[in-house]
Structure 1
Amino acid sequence: MSSSDIELIEAQGRIWSYSYSFIINKCLKCAIQLGIPDVIHRHSPGPTSLPALASALHLPPSKHDALRRLMRLLVHAAFFKLQEAEDHYYYSLTPASELLLLPDDRAEAEVLKAPPVHLFLGTDHGSLSAWFRRSDGAAPVEAVLGMSFWDAMAREPSLMQTFYGAMSGDSKLVARVLVSDCCKELFRGVGSLVDVGGGTGTMAAAIARAYPDINCTVFELPQVVPDSQDQEAIIGLPNLQFLGGNMFQENIPHGDALLLKGRRQLREDLEKMQGGGTAVAWQQREIRKGDLDRHGRWE
Structure 2
Amino acid sequence: MTPHLLEFKGMSKEEEDSLLGQVEIWRYMTCFTDSVALKSVIELRIADIIDRYGKPLSLSQIVENIDDAPSPDASLLQRVMRVMVRRKIFSAEQSETGETLYGLTRASKWILRDTKMTLAPMLLLENHPIHLNPAHYISEIIREGTKNGTAFFKCHGHEQFEMTGLDPEYNRLFNEGMVCTARVVSKAVITGYKDGFNQIKSLVDVGGGIGGSLSEIVRAYPHINAINFDLPHVVATAPKYDGITHVGGDMFVSIPDADAIYMKWILHDWSDEHCVKILKNCRKAIPEKTGKVIIVDHVLRPEGNELFTDVGIAFDMMLLAHNAGGKERTEENWKWLFKETGFARYNIIKINALPSIIEAFPI
Shorter-normalised TM range:
0.7 to 0.9
Match among 170, 180, 187 for residue 176 of structure 1:
187
Does the 8 Å contact 2:264/2:295 carry over to 1?
Answer: yes
1:1-299 → structure 2 map (5 Å cutoff): 1-44=11-54, 46-57=55-66, 63-85=73-95, 87-103=98-114, 105-106=116-117, 108-113=119-124, 116-119=127-130, 123-137=133-147, 138-145=149-156, 147-180=158-191, 182-227=192-237, 231=238, 234-237=239-242, 239-247=243-251, 249-262=252-265, 263-264=267-268, 268-273=277-282, 274=284, 275-276=286-287, 277-283=291-297, 285=299, 292-293=343-344
Shift in alpha-carbon separation, 1:77–1:252, aligned structure 2, 3 A: farther
- Specify the code of the residue in structure 2 equivalent to 1:134: E
Give, in angstroms, the shift of residue 118 of structure 1.
4.2
Structure 2, unpaired ranges of 5+: 1-10, 300-328, 347-359
Q: Name which structure has the greater RCO, CA cutoff 8 Å, separation 6+.
A: 2
Shift in alpha-carbon separation, 1:255–1:242, aligned structure 2, 3 A: same
Give, in angstroms, the shift of residue 205 of structure 1.
0.9
Give, in angstroms, the shift of residue 256 of structure 1.
1.2
Does the 8 Å contact 2:292/2:362 carry over to 1?
Answer: no
Does the 8 Å contact 1:270/1:298 carry over to 2?
Answer: no
Structure 1 Cα separation of the partners of residues 345 and 26 of structure 2: 52
Structure 1 Cα separation of the partners of residues 145 and 254 of structure 2: 31
Encode CA deviations 1:65-111: one digit per residue, 9 max, x unaligned.
32222112012222112223453322222232212212362563233
Does the 8 Å contact 1:270/1:297 carry over to 2?
Answer: no
Sequence identity, in percent?
26
TM score, norm. by length of structure 1: 0.82
Corresponding residue SS for 1:91: strand
Structure 1, unpaired ranges of 5+: none
Structure 1 Cα separation of the partners of residues 188 and 34 of structure 2: 29
Corresponding residue SS for 2:226: strand
Structure 2 Cα separation of the partners of residues 57 and 149 of structure 1: 33
Give, in angstroms, the shift of residue 30 of structure 1.
0.8
Corresponding residue SS for 1:16: helix
Give, in angstroms, the shift of residue 63 of structure 1.
2.5
- Number of residue-to-residue matches in the alignment: 289
Structure 1 Cα separation of the partners of residues 74 and 128 of structure 2: 31
2:352 aligns with none
Encode CA deviations 1:138-181: one digit per residue, 9 max, x unaligned.
4322445555322232333432232122111111122223334x
Structure 2 Cα separation of the partners of residues 104 and 96 of structure 1: 14
Shift in alpha-carbon separation, 1:61–1:157, aligned structure 2, 3 A: closer
Corresponding residue SS for 1:177: helix
Alpha-carbon RMSD across the aligned residues, in angstroms, is 3.2
Encode CA deviations 1:121-145: one digit per residue, 9 max, x unaligned.
9x54332221111145443224455
Structure 2 Cα separation of the partners of residues 148 and 194 of structure 1: 27
TM score, norm. by length of structure 2: 0.69
Structure 1 Cα separation of the partners of residues 205 and 72 of structure 2: 52
Does the 8 Å contact 1:271/1:298 carry over to 2?
Answer: no
Does the 8 Å contact 2:122/2:178 carry over to 1?
Answer: no
Structure 1 Cα separation of the partners of residues 122 and 188 of structure 2: 22
